[in-house]
Amino acid sequence: MKIDVEYHELITNKDIDRRFPAAVAATAEGRGLYQCVACGKCSAGCPISDALEVLPHQIIRKAILGLKTQVLSCPTIWVCATCFRCNDRCPEQVNPASIMFVLKNMATDEGIVPEGIQTLVRSLYANGWASTIINYEREELNLPEVPEANDTIRTILDRAGLKKKSLLEEDKG
Amino acid sequence: MGLEFSDSLLDKWSCCGTTFMKDTDFHPWLALSAYNLALSEGEGRDIITLCNGCFNSLKEGNHILQTNPELLERANASISPLKYHGGVRVEHAMSVLYKEIGLPRLKLYIKKPRPLKVAVHYGCHFLRPAKIMQTDNPDDPTTLEELAGVTGATSVRWKTQQDCCGAPVLATNEDLAIHMISKKLVDIMDNTDAQCVLTSCPFCQIQFELHQTRIGKMLNRKIEIPVLFQTQLLGLAMDLEMEELGFDFNLTPVDSILEHFKE
Ligand code: SF4
Ligand code: SF4
């Protein structure tokens, strides 16, 4: 008798970075990581679960297992709509949405940032605003003009250690 | 209504950085929150926002700064000589109308109540994370329905009401963002008799308005429903000057709604 066994991705030791989950859990927003009981409630309520290849609870599980490369290169963390429904519904205060923020920060450290996000950060750094302010439209509404960007915002971002290499430099290859 | 506004900070405010900055770089994001909060604190003011994104970003930032002394100190180092001490309240304008002004007082201003049918959209960041935002029950909120009710409007119930509009996904996956809003628009049009959508976040507003034609083409059917900002309906019912209500900036045709207020 032939039994068809479908092998899901096999995890090997070289995929595992044992320091990774501890690094996530050491951040202010990531400290709930180890509390996950894999109940799947976060994924059940996620409004984009139908479009995700890797679901929120799988991201959390992979992070706990130390699958750093898989997690940081996974599109799920970036298309998460940050609706925070999973944070509210998780029975174990894992705060999956907050953990995705931590993972996106870590992906940024590795130079993995979607172009659309980079554009917004670049605009904020250059102009002080993420979106384009149209002064003639403000005039029609009798609103005062928005002044030119001053250096204050740039100074604050610099002092806070903005990851310029990942966020401001065009086309990192 | 007893609120006093200041525009003395207009030339100093910074963008809140919202999710894209928090996504990529936590500390600069928190420093921007600290900067805006410190400016308000310096003037002895609280912050009211008309945008869910700013509301969420500033209120979450405020919560972190108020509860984590280490992070507060680090953020303060980035914004010196300004310094934030944790003394500012951040509220959404709709919550202020609902909780502080209150419906009975608001009713006194209504001159043209109209029995419209509306579909209100809260937007995730108005409600969640609930422990921090503390506006309403995120699974069964009533704030916006009740505010619309003051104008005589009835709110329809719709299945996808509490789902995300997709706006935050626009920067990373436009197709998915449009898929998300199309589900909501189709739900409202097919399963309710709403005459318009009401939003209370500019980003949700854009998401509801901007893609209607495109989604119509995609689905090979007509997708067209007026989308008003909640304050626009309140303004109409209060009989405020038309020019003050900014209808020139709506991207969907709103004439069918304005009709009802022409006497
Ligand atoms: S809801 Fe919480 S505990 Fe359950 S799988 Fe998701 S993160 Fe884990
Ligand atoms: S915050 Fe992200 S992962 Fe959580 S439910 Fe919303 S879209 Fe899904």
List domains and CATH numbers for chain A: 6-109 (1.10.1060.10), 115-159 (no CATH)
A82 lines ligand 2 (CB under 6 A): yes
Domain B106-259, CATH class in plain words: alpha beta
DSSP-assigned letters across all residues of chain A:
------PPPPP-GGG--TTHHHHHHTSTTTTTGGG-----HHHHH-TTGGG-SS-HHHHHHHHHHT-HHHHHT-HHHHH-----HHHHH-TT---HHHHHHHHHHHHHHTT---HHHHHHHHHHHHHS-SS---HHHHHHTTPPPPPPP-HHHHHHHHHTT--HHHHTSS---
CB proximity B66 to A under 8 Å:
no
Q: What is the pLDDT of residues B188-235, one digit of tens each?
A: 999 999 999 999 999 999 999 999 999 999 999 999 999 999 999 999
For chain B, give every domain's residue range.
Answer: 18-88, 106-259
Residue A6, pLDDT score: 67
pLDDT at A170 over 80: no
Are B24 and A167 an interchain contact pair (Cβ–Cβ within 8 Å)? yes
Are B24 and A153 an interchain contact pair (Cβ–Cβ within 8 Å)? no
ipTM score assigned to the predicted complex: 0.91
CB proximity B68 to A under 8 Å:
yes
Query: Ligand 2: which atom is nearest the Cα of residue A96?
Result: 4
Average pLDDT over residues B25-54: 95
Residue A173, pLDDT score: 41
User: Closest Cα of chain B to A77: distance in Å?
Assistant: 9
pTM of the model: 0.92
Residue A134, pLDDT score: 67
Q: What is the pLDDT of residues B49-78, one digit of tens each?
A: 999 999 999 999 999 999 999 999 999 999
For ligand 2, mutation pick of A48, A52, A60 (most atoms within 8 Å of CB): A48
CB proximity A129 to B under 8 Å:
yes
Query: Ligand 1: which atom is nearest the Cα of residue A35?
Result: 3
Query: Ligand 1: which atom is nearest the Cα of residue A43?
Result: 6
Determine the distance separating the centroid of ligand 1 and the alpha carbon of A103, expressed in angstroms. 16
